[in-house]
Structure 1
Amino acid sequence: MPIYEYVCRACEHEFEALQKMSDPVLTDCPECKAVELAKKVSAAGFRLKGGGWYETDFKSGGKKKNLAGDSASSGAAPTSSSSD
């Protein structure tokens, strides 16, 4: 369940509430009992770090990693020569 941040416009009390996404937005301040709560916009509590889909698909700054491990950068299938 996500943690939402709220601030009261009347008394400026700030707090966090653990709620389901389907729960209704809180409206009553627990401190002053006024119906002046507003949901704050805040950053997510996780970080995309290390290798994985973000690293290989969405990170900019040069060439994409070749996940197949071959040295062909054009995307063509590698050819092999056989000596008979």
Structure 2
Amino acid sequence: MFLPIQMLYTKKENKGHEEIMPIYVYECKSCEYRFEEKQSFDDEPLTVCSECGGKIHRIIFASPVHYKGPGFTTTEARGITGRKRKPNIKVGLTSDLPPEEREKHLG
């Protein structure tokens, strides 16, 4: 099981101080071998598979997003305008209607 690259870090001592090193996940295009590699941010990505000699690529994972504060969930369910629609109800007397419409409503 591989965890997202951005979430994995290791500490490395270098000349008396600690450096944080990211752990990257690579996959071979030929044999589909996956492995993790500790590298500096400045290091060039690896290109050759240690198992078969094929071409490898770095797997990029989506970083997690955390929304904080009010309003992120309450506004999503309201729709585009954020307003509630008024029901389309006509109010009035049946005597205001033409005779054929009046009969429909009165039965």
Return the TM-score normalized by structure 1.
0.50
Q: Tell me the alpha carbon deviations over residues 5-39 of structure 1, each in whole angstroms, 9 at most, x when there is no partner.
A: 110001110111111010011001011122x1011
Select the structure that is richer in strand: 2
Q: 2:61 aligns with which of 28, 42, 48?
A: 42
Query: How much does 1:43 deviate?
Result: 4.3
Aligned to 1:31: 51
Q: Partners of 1:20 and 1:14 in 2: how far apart? A: 19
Q: 2:72 aligns with which of 49, 60, 64?
A: 60
**What is the identity, as a one-letter code, of the residue corresponding to 1:25?**
P
Structure 1 segments unaligned to the other structure (5+ residues): 49-53, 63-84
Alignment of 1:5-16 (within 5 A): 5-16=25-36
Return the TM-score normalized by structure 2.
0.41
SS in 2 for 1:2: strand
Select the structure that is richer in helix: 2
Q: Percent identity?
A: 36
Which has the bigger relative contact order, CA under 8 A and spacing at least 6?
Answer: 1
| Larger Rg belongs to | 2
For these two proteins, the number of residue pairs brought into alignment is 55
